[in-house]
Amino acid sequence: MSYPAYIDTMKIGSLKHLAQTLQESLAQCELCPHRCGVNRLKGETGFCGAGRDAEVASCSPHFGEEAPLVGRRGSGTIFFSHCTMRCMYCQNYDISRTHGQRVNEEELAHLMFSLAKRGCHNINLVTPTHFLPSILAALTIAAENGLNIPIVYNTSGYERSETLAKLSGVVDIYLPDCKYTDGEVGQKLSGVPDYPQLALDALREMHRQVGDLEVDNKGVALRGVLIRHLVLPGGLAGSERFFTFVVRELSPHCAVNIMDQYHPAYMASRHPPLDRCLLHEEYEEAVRTARRCGLILRKEIFH
């Protein structure tokens, strides 16, 4: 398969057809696990609060992502407004709870081109699922006019595997979170009790499509899955079950960034133990657990 994958999909007309099909599906939106069924084409909104058009909160080269995404020239991030989760410790609540700048398909394609022209190694779509129809329509325009850098699908992990399956041959790099492996924790912290089942199913589908992370001779990502696992205070993330799942059902070589940067944000101060930063000992225990479970850690992806 050539890189990026969406070029071949565009050439046979499938990318444009998929964009049109998903646009029509907004008449009864079921893109995300909430499956609200609202008619977004007529201005109705569901759980996420998104309307018909994409809303962009920010667009710029980003140098705070993992090294294979950043390379030397940055990851071209497009942050979309709204979210399908309600994390009480959200570190981007100013984006996920507010409206961004509404853009049409041509304007969104222009943003993609602007990032490519600035030398970014990829187009990094942050919380994209609720705006997939607009994104794919814009990507069709961009690809037809020469865009040729990988697409990164940067997601909370709370996804319908049925929606992800439609993206086979479109997304090059999946960058999902895996936040929890306990449904009660998912409900308490993010309002999504079905998070563990759906997130693990989503990881299976992502890995089926693109496999383990592949990089070029300069260490820049071309294709594959890179999973983020934020270690939470008090063991709330359920790390051992997550690591066991990755090793047994995906691959011991699957790229996992075990993240230590948790700090109280948004409403976390009201909910111990989220009202404190992660202890160094808690993070080190998570890393030891990953190794004990058989996960082969790739140091180059750690922050």
Structural domains present in the chain: 5-301 (3.20.20.70)
Q: What distance in Å separates the CA atoms of residue 5 and residue 3, rounded to the nearest whole number? A: 5
Task: Give alpha helix (H) positions in 104-168.
Answer: 105-117, 132-144, 161-165
Exposure of 67 in the CB half-sphere (CA atoms within 13 A): 12
Check if the beta carbon of residue 191 is closer than 8 Å to that of residue 185: no
pLDDT recorded at residue 45: 96
Say which residues have a Cβ less than 8 Å from residue 39's Cβ, sequence separation at least 6: 26, 27, 28, 29
How much helix, strand and coil, in percent to the nearest 5, is found in the chain? 40, 15, 40
- Per the listing, tokens 């030397």 go with 72
The tokens of 62 are what? 């980003």
pLDDT recorded at residue 95: 79
Say which residues have a Cβ less than 8 Å from residue 165's Cβ, sequence separation at least 6: 205
pLDDT tens over the chain, length 303 residues: 457 999 999 999 999 999 999 999 999 999 999 999 999 999 999 999 999 999 999 999 999 999 999 999 999 999 999 999 999 999 888 777 777 899 999 999 999 999 999 999 999 999 999 999 999 999 999 999 999 999 999 999 999 999 999 999 999 999 999 999 999 999 999 999 999 999 999 999 999 999 999 999 999 999 999 999 999 999 999 999 999 999 999 999 999 999 999 999 999 999 999 999 999 999 999 999 999 999 999 887 765
Q: What distance in Å separates the CA atoms of residue 253 and residue 245, rounded to the nearest whole number? A: 13
SS3 215: strand
Check if the beta carbon of residue 185 is closer than 8 Å to that of residue 142: no
pLDDT recorded at residue 299: 81
CA Rg value for the chain: 18
Q: What distance in Å separates the CA atoms of residue 227 and residue 177, rounded to the nearest whole number? A: 6
Q: What distance in Å separates the CA atoms of residue 16 and residue 235, rounded to the nearest whole number? A: 44
Q: Amino acid identity, residue 143?
A: A
The tokens of 187 are what? 């409900």
Check if the beta carbon of residue 69 is closer than 8 Å to that of residue 124: yes
Q: What distance in Å separates the CA atoms of residue 26 and residue 39, rounded to the nearest whole number? A: 6
Phi, psi dihedrals of residue 255, rounded to the nearest 5°: -75, 120
